[in-house]
Amino acid sequence: MHQMFPLEKFIPLYETSKGNVVRGYSTHKVVFGRPLRVIIAYNPATAEK
């Protein structure tokens, strides 16, 4: 199952040495039958590749 996460919900985490702002999103999901916290990181420079 593919799920989309709107970038508006991501918060800035840090800035890379090249000036890109890495953003993150935290959610709780059941993974392999266990409830876990899932952290998703988004780097716009990586997304362009």
- Domains in the chain: how many in total? 1
Instruction: Write down the pLDDT at residue 2.
Output: 59
- Note whether residue 42 is domain-resident: yes
In a domain, 2, yes or no: no
pLDDT at position 18 is 93
**Rounded to whole angstroms, how far apart are CA atoms 22 and 14?**
6
Q: What is the value of pTM for the model shown? A: 0.69
Q: What is the predicted pLDDT for the residue at 48? A: 73
Distance between CA atoms of 18 and 32, rounded to whole angstroms?
37
Question: Residue 15 — left, alpha, or beta (φ > 0 → left; ψ -120 to 50 → alpha)?
Answer: beta
Structural domain span for residue 19: 7-48
pLDDT tens-digit readout, 1-49? 557 788 889 999 999 999 999 999 999 999 899 999 989 999 988 877 6
Q: Is residue 1 part of a domain?
A: no
What is the predicted pLDDT for the residue at 14? Answer: 96
